[in-house]
Amino acid sequence: MRDRNFLVENNAKPIWHPMAHPAEMRTQPPRIVMKGEGVEVTDIDGKTVIDAVGGLWNVNLGYSCDPIKQAIADQLSALPYYSGFRGTSNGPSIELAYELTEWFKPEGMVRAFFTSGGSDSVETALRLARQYWKIKGQADRTKFLALKKGYHGTHFGGASVNGNANFRRNYEPMLPGVFHIPAPSTYRNPFNETDPAKLAQLCAAAMEEEITFQGADTIAAFIMEPVLGAGGVIVPPDSFMKLVREICDRHGILMIADEVVTGFGRTGAWSGSRLWGVKPDMMTMAKAITSGYFPLGATLIGEQVAEAFEADTTTFGSIGHGYTYSGHPVGCAAGLAALAETRRLKLDENAAARGEDLAQALAALKAKHPLVGDVRGKGLMAALELVADRDTKKPADKKTMTKVADVAYEAGVMLRVSGNNLILSPPLILTSADVKRIAEGIDAGLSAAG
C-alpha cells in the first residue's frame, strides 16, 4: 500500500463516496480507517475507537473472526469463482442455501436466491413478486406498498419503495405504482398518536384505505423492515407487523420482510419476523450473512411462492434475473463460517442482553441532555433523535450533529449521523463494558454540543 502522505493527499479526490456530496467530501475529507480488531477500529493517525456503527450494521462478529478469514483463504485456494447461472453450481452455495433454509424454517422459508448485497436482494424480491403474479394469471398485480421512513436500498426498485425523500428526490421519476403508508413511529406520526396499540391500528387502517383505493387486485406486494433502520430505528408497536400480515392475507398480497439489517440476531431474535411472530412470503438478507467480510446477500422464498414457480409449465416461471456474483463460492464459504460462529456465540442472546444495557444507558442520557428528543431501539440497533427544542420537536441542525459525532470520536467512539439521528449498530459481540464506553463517548459529544 502507498504511504500515509499519499492516502491523505488523495483522500476523497479520485473516489466518490456513497451517501455523501462529493464537494463536501473534498473540503472535509472522511476519516481513513486502516485497521480493525475486536469491536474497535484504528484510523490512519493511529487513533483507536470503539465502532458503535458496526461497519454499516453488518460486522456482527467484530473484526477478528479468524474462522471467516480462514474459510475465505481456503476457498480462494480451492475455487475463487465460478458462475452460478444455469448449468453450473458450486459446493459452498449449495451448502449455504441449505443452511439458510434450515435457519429460517420457522419463518417458512424454503429456497434461497443469492445476490451480491442488500439492494440486490430487495430488487430480486420485487421482481419475483411481479413474476409470481404473472405465473398465477394475475398480471395486473404490479404495484407495491411500503412504509414512509423505510429504507430498501439504492437500485431503482429499492429506491422507489424507499420512504425517505433523501434517497429519491435527485433520481426521480421513480418506479411507477409504488405507494407509501405512514410509519408507525410513536414520536413522529401524522395522527399525533403516542399510544402504540392505537397507532398500529391507525397505520393499518391507512394501509387498508390505500389498498381499497388502488384495488387489491393491482397490488403485488407489501415490503417493510421489521424494525426500520436507516429511517431512524423506528420500532413498530408489537402488534403492527401481525396486523399488516393479516391485511396482506385478506387481500392476497405478498409480504416481503426486508431483513437486511434485522437478520441474524441484531434485534435479539434471529430475524425481525420471528421477533414479531410473522411468516412473510419472502425475506431479503445481506450484511451479517458474512459479518461484512465478503459482499453477499440472499432473497429467501416461502413455500407458496416457491410452489408457484416450480409447478409452472409456461415460460413465466423461468427466472430471467441474476448477478455475476450470485452464489459466489468465496462469499458462500464466508457465510457458512459466519453463521457457524453466529450460532456458536448465541449472538441473538447477547444482542438482547446488551441491548437492555444500551437502552438504560441511552435513557439516562436523555434524562441528562435536553438535546435528546427521543431514544429508540430493539436489541443492538438504537437511535437518539436530537432536537433543538423538545416541545416543538424541531430537529437539531447539521452543525450540532457534526459536533456531537466529532467530540464523541475524540472521546473514543465512532458514531453514525443520519439526519438528526445518531444511529447505533455495534457488533453483536459487545460487552457491558463496551456499552459503558459508548455511552460515555456520546455523553461527551452531547455535553459539548448542548
The pLDDT of 380-400, averaged and rounded, is 98
The pLDDT of 164-178, averaged and rounded, is 94
Contact 273, 239 (CB under 8 A): no
Mean pLDDT of the residues in the chain: 97
Task: Please state the domain extents for the chain.
Answer: 31-64+346-449, 68-345
Omega of the bond leading into 176 within 30 degrees of 0 (cis): no
Does residue 402 have a pLDDT over 90? yes
pLDDT at 282: 99
pLDDT at 177: 97
Name residue 35's beta-bridge partners. Answer: 42
Task: Give the model confidence (pLDDT) of 177-219 as tens digits.
Answer: 999 999 999 999 999 999 999 999 999 999 999 999 999 999 9
How many residues are given for the chain?
Answer: 450
Does residue 244 have a pLDDT over 90? yes
Does residue 433 have a pLDDT over 90? yes
The pLDDT of 219-227, averaged and rounded, is 98
pLDDT range class, residue 247, cuts 50, 70, 90: very high
Does residue 151 have a pLDDT over 90? yes
Task: Give the model confidence (pLDDT) of 27-47 as tens digits.
Answer: 999 999 999 999 999 999 999
Does residue 133 have a pLDDT over 90? yes
Task: Give the model confidence (pLDDT) of 60-118 as tens digits.
Answer: 999 999 999 999 999 999 999 999 999 999 999 999 999 999 999 999 999 999 999 99
Cα Rg, the chain, nearest whole Å: 22
The pLDDT of 289-307, averaged and rounded, is 98
pLDDT range class, residue 233, cuts 50, 70, 90: very high
Determine the CATH number of domain 68-345: 3.40.640.10
pLDDT range class, residue 400, cuts 50, 70, 90: very high
Share of the chain above pLDDT 90, in %: 99
Task: Give the model confidence (pLDDT) of 357-373 as tens digits.
Answer: 999 999 999 999 999 99
pLDDT range class, residue 278, cuts 50, 70, 90: very high
Does residue 450 have a pLDDT over 90? no
Tell me which CATH homologous superfamily contains domain 31-64+346-449. Answer: Aspartate Aminotransferase, domain 1 (3.90.1150.10)
pLDDT at 1: 79
Q: Which of 116, 80, 114, 83 is nearest to 98 (CA)?
A: 114
**Interatomic CA distance for residues 53 and 422, integer angstroms:** 10
